[in-house]
Amino acid sequence: WLRRFLTSKEQFHAYLRAEGEPGGQAGGGGKEEEVEKKKEEEEEVDNCQSEPPAKRIRSEDLGQDGESQEDGGAEKEPVERKRARGQNKSRPCMKPNHYEQSRLCPSVTQGCAEKCYFGPRCRFLHDIGEYMAAKPADLGHSCVLFETFGKCIYGVTCRFAQAHLGDGYRNVVNTDLAKQWEGKSLVRNNLSKDLQHQLRKRKFSFKKADEYLRGLAKPHRDGRKGGKATGCSAEEQEVSNCTTPQEGLGDSPECPVLPEQGEDPKPDALQSPGPKGGEEASSVKTVGPVTDEDIIKLRSCEKKKLEIQGKLYLAPLTTCGNLPFRRICKRFGADVTCGEMAVCTNLLQGQSSEWALLKRHHTEDIFGVQLEGAFPDTMTKCAELLNQTIEVDFVDINVGCPIDLVYKKGGGCALMTRSNKFEQIVRGMNLVLDVPLTVKIRTGVQEKINVAHKIIPKIREWGASMVTLHGRSREQRYTRGADWDYIAECAKIASPMPLFGNGDILSYEDANRAMQMGVSGIMIARQVPVGALIKPWLFTEIKEQRHWDISSSERFDILKDFTNYGLEHWGSDTQGVEKTRKFLLEWLSFLCRYIPVGLLECLPQKINERPPYYMGRDYLETLMASQNVDDWIKISEMLLGPVPTSFTFLPKHKANSYR
């Protein structure tokens, strides 16, 4: 650290309160204010809505013995508190009716008020004048949707409506610009109403998955059912995959699928309707000429190859890895992108919020989705569902999620300890997919017991096209350095299957060292405290082989682009603006951990090293370094206008991943 930038907590916040005025660094007025500040800070910590506990600054770093001792004393009180980690559960949820009491009926917005979808039961406003009288003030003079596409579909409800409203609240359209975008699909993988209805009524046909699951339920010679058998031996599997067409739908009577533990035992759950009663569905038997039933399945050697060796892979990031954020990373040089982790059971139920995680922007040329599940029936059916309904280049299985909610249900990291179910999931998904299947794992579950080197050869045998290895165990989470020596060992074991390494890629030097370890490529994730979430321009640094001392104004422009992408994706009405604000604030909770290159004596910034309080080179740089929620909200107001009354925000992830 360059010492001239270091400061104390009190001076840091006093500077921000003074809006960057030089006089604000003195800290203001006396002991009474300091006592009030301490009380307020203690209350904020109790509410879990302020910044993390005070940062420790050694006296020799600051040259102020008194301040360092006071900080150390303040640290002694909360020693017994449980360490912040995981999610902020039961956090306040801002719903649309919390910030917009009177909402206009969608039929009016779309110009077909006479055909209201809700009929006489409609609770929305139909009078535009009444709505405009109560509508909050516009947030700006230009609408990104109107400027980009020539038309804003949100009409009078747009929070930037003055840019495209004519006489009588008529929505103005730029016909020349609108024609350029006519018929073009900007975002793919949307959930249609018809598909959602089929899923909710359980009328979707899972033909391939059902056949595979019936094979699992067939009894073995020793009388057991299920197990590791997949309907044919390993030799037969190899022959059928690479030399001969897949065998028919079976010659022996079929057995019903056994419900997995913890799942709904009701008949036909999440399955296509079959014969009622005790009758068994007869299999299709073929004799003589080859029919479509015999060759409908792709052989493994016919599948599309995943050619991403040496490319930069943006990891699937829960909450923050949304479509607007991926567009930012794509612009900075990410080659491969992946959607956020989607829960297979929610997808099978047709939940719109879960299907939104699968959406793909047209600029994402190599795109995959990541699925999480614990049982072969739901995972195989979900893979077949996605194979038929969306456009992706690969499907990834999440076997690395460490959170308790997933682990205790048998998903995520728990699959590494459930090899039988893990095998059934990988084989089943690989069977029903026409695109490559990849797997993301950790070194193991326990901190000092690595098991990935034992599992990787099995994953290759089961049919996966690629493995990504995060160099930490579940118990380590993000608080220890990634074990790249172990990743290099696993890369040799995985050959010829590609293995991507993940963990602690902080700069282009780290990326170069990682590639020398023998991995096929690197995945860049949250990488606390630096990475794609904290430093999305890391992709540019790696490709241009340089450290980028990015200015605060350039970083603010990135936030502007994110808000524009968010308004384009989530909408420019009040609901869309607040959803954009929510995801912006979630991202700012990570962005504040970035330390500008120009303030460091030694490059790069070290992993898991909590930075002390420092003054930036200007007010905006200092504001972006604040870990206080109120300062994040202030940044959001600079981009999206004032927050609604009674607005509250608490980040989803409370873990700061510092030792």
Measured at the CA of 351, the angle between CA 258 and CA 264, to 5 degrees, comes to 20
- CA 375 to CA 414: how far, in whole Å? 11
For residue 566, which of 187, 206, 3, 104 has the smallest C-alpha distance?
Answer: 187
- CA 401 to CA 412: how far, in whole Å? 4
Contacts of 491 (CB under 8 A, 6+ apart): 499, 501, 517, 518, 519, 520
Report the chain's terminal Cα–Cα distance, integer Å.
19
At residue 209, what are phi and psi to the nearest 5 degrees? -65, -45
Tokens coding 197: 């209805």
Catalytic residue among 401, 413, 490, 592: 401
- CA 382 to CA 373: how far, in whole Å? 10
- CA 130 to CA 459: how far, in whole Å? 62
- CA 445 to CA 451: how far, in whole Å? 8
What is residue 522's three-state secondary structure?
strand
Is residue 311 a contact partner of residue 341, using CB atoms and an 8 Å limit? no
Token look-up 């330390």 returns: 595
CA distances for 187 relative to 192, 346, 385, 388, 446, angstroms: 13, 21, 19, 18, 41
CA dihedral of 261, 267, 270, 271, whole degrees rounded to 10: 120
Q: Does residue 401 carry a catalytic annotation?
A: yes
Contacts of 554 (CB under 8 A, 6+ apart): none
Is residue 510 a contact partner of residue 530, using CB atoms and an 8 Å limit? no
CA distances for 262 relative to 265, 399, 420, angstroms: 9, 19, 17
Other beta carbons within 10 Å of 436: 23
Q: What are the catalytic residues?
A: 401
